[in-house]
Structure 1
């Protein structure tokens, strides 16, 4: 557990003012995102059946919170890690057409997260997904969507500045695109995380593309489940965050796997047995729509726009008492 304490930190808003700002950001952003990206707000589950294969496996090693239910004997239920696969099923079942999409207020528990300034066991994000045509499964579609999200975030900065000028963080004017392979060639001597920090510090905001597959050195830049993003058509939106001297990931997103890329990625990940699960069989049989989607961290966005040093300042979660004590001594008030 690593805790970063910025020198002479000043939150600039009281706890009650912060709570007001959090509500304003969350309410305003989701409305603008829905309107600008043509997404409808829908309800989503907190847990899914393990046998469905719908839960997000993240890097493949994180343990979901599991429990049983009296009404479903013999079935194991899992608290979601995210709704990456569930959203695609919902688009099919609800009859969404190309150009139409959905977003939802996703809450998750990630019990194996290492707790620090940026990571909590409680995850809150806007999960979104949109139907596209097969011919739109391109880098151009991905980049165009990323620019749209960046524009919405920039507009939120101006909205927050209007209400809380003393607290808002100024964001860069543009977003820079680069692949993990190109980044590894630029900085072969650095670790993946060091590369992210180097390029994001230079450009202010970066969309780092093609995460999940092995690079030239035989290792992936970062882990990514093989059964939702197409590893050639995905990426993370990163902002440089001076307060913690690091890159801050706001969104992970991508064009989703089609039949060919799912089969290929399951084989590369050694997870070919997943092809027998209901969700995966539907996808391999061409029964699901082609989609693009991702998650935008709600607390991460509040943290970015309000320039906060700890994610616990903008969400109520569980933290070690020693972390709470140290933070309190440095004006970092965890909710």
Structure 2
């Protein structure tokens, strides 16, 4: 089965030059809307971290980080997968208080990523994190934050349409919230990706709650690292992507683990050895603020709002020969 999909009669609304200009416009608009909605300040972010710090995102646990030696140091460096844990430490170091937070432009290399219309080995996203109180560690607060992100996206889409009238992608601000267990109960004969496709087709803006823990049928909806999101208070934000006729995940986010959730999830994941890392010790000893945070894919958002059929139309990356050959007539890969 071919991994690259070329929609019938597909033609990009904007040419290459206008696409580049529109990408910059989207990023500026969304950053303004995001910072206003969540009270975030921009900070500089690392491209790599010490491999022994425990700060890198382990994703599902199987992806290999890009490592390199640093002659001036005794340890290796690792290119980040995301800033999921680094941001929480930064909030403490920068002395952020409840109700305020930060965001950063995150660039990563995910060498083991499958290459298809939605996936690249290069990842660019807005990584954000906000300090919360103990009382805000609730599903209701998570839903409220999700709604704020969706509203910021809808505002961006509206401004984009004003500037480029031919680009007519709108964002449905009515978010449908569904737990991963409810999704499995609705579609017992489908796998997790098929469930997402079926549900999001009927609910074009969907937030799937509680991802990472094992469901009743014995496996999780999706694998999730045990040491940043609280699996009971997290989720994925998905939108219906019309050109590809599929569900597109744009953001993974959640309320972060406290000491009890971290211990419980490391036990479930058989990963208690991570307690030796400095980051995990800080969580266990309650030395880090309670936070909510996530990542929002920059290229994915541009792809969605511009109606593009391939992520290579909005970012520069490396592509295999099959992808290049499949795209050469109708899709211009940057």
The answer to which of 233-242 and 1-10 deviates more is 1-10
Q: How does 1:71-90 map to 2 (within 5 A)?
A: 71-72=72-73, 74-90=74-90
Deviation at 1:262, TM superposition (A): 0.2
Q: How does 1:257-268 map to 2 (within 5 A)?
A: 257-268=257-268
Q: Which residue of 2 aligns with 1:128?
A: 128
Distance 1:35 1:217 in 2: 41
Distance 1:299 1:164 in 2: 18
Q: Which runs of 5+ in 1 are unaligned?
A: none
Q: Which residue of 2 aligns with 1:163?
A: 163
Distance 2:240 2:215 in 1: 24
Distance 1:35 1:141 in 2: 17
Q: Which residue of 1 aligns with 2:154?
A: 154
Q: Which runs of 5+ in 2 are unaligned?
A: none
Distance 2:186 2:282 in 1: 40
Deviation at 1:170, TM superposition (A): 2.4
Deviation at 1:171, TM superposition (A): 2.5
Q: Structure 1 stretches (4+) deviating beyond 6 angstroms?
A: none
Distance 1:86 1:179 in 2: 27
Deviation at 1:36, TM superposition (A): 1.8
Normalising to structure 2: TM-score of the pair?
0.98
Q: How does 1:12-161 map to 2 (within 5 A)?
A: 12-72=13-73, 74-161=74-161
Residue correspondences, number: 333
Encode CA deviations 1:213-254: one digit per residue, 9 max, x unaligned: 000011000000000000000000000112111100010000
Normalising to structure 1: TM-score of the pair?
0.98
Q: Which residue of 1 aligns with 2:232?
A: 232
Q: Which residue of 2 aligns with 1:333?
A: 332
- Given that 1:11 and 1:167 are in contact with CA atoms closer than 8 Å, whether structure 2 keeps it comes out as no
Q: Indicate the SS of the match to 1:52.
A: coil
Distance 1:300 1:310 in 2: 9
Distance 1:141 1:172 in 2: 20
Deviation at 1:322, TM superposition (A): 3.3
* Compared CA separation, residues 326 and 210, structure 1 to 2 (3 A): same
Q: Which residue of 2 aligns with 1:179?
A: 179
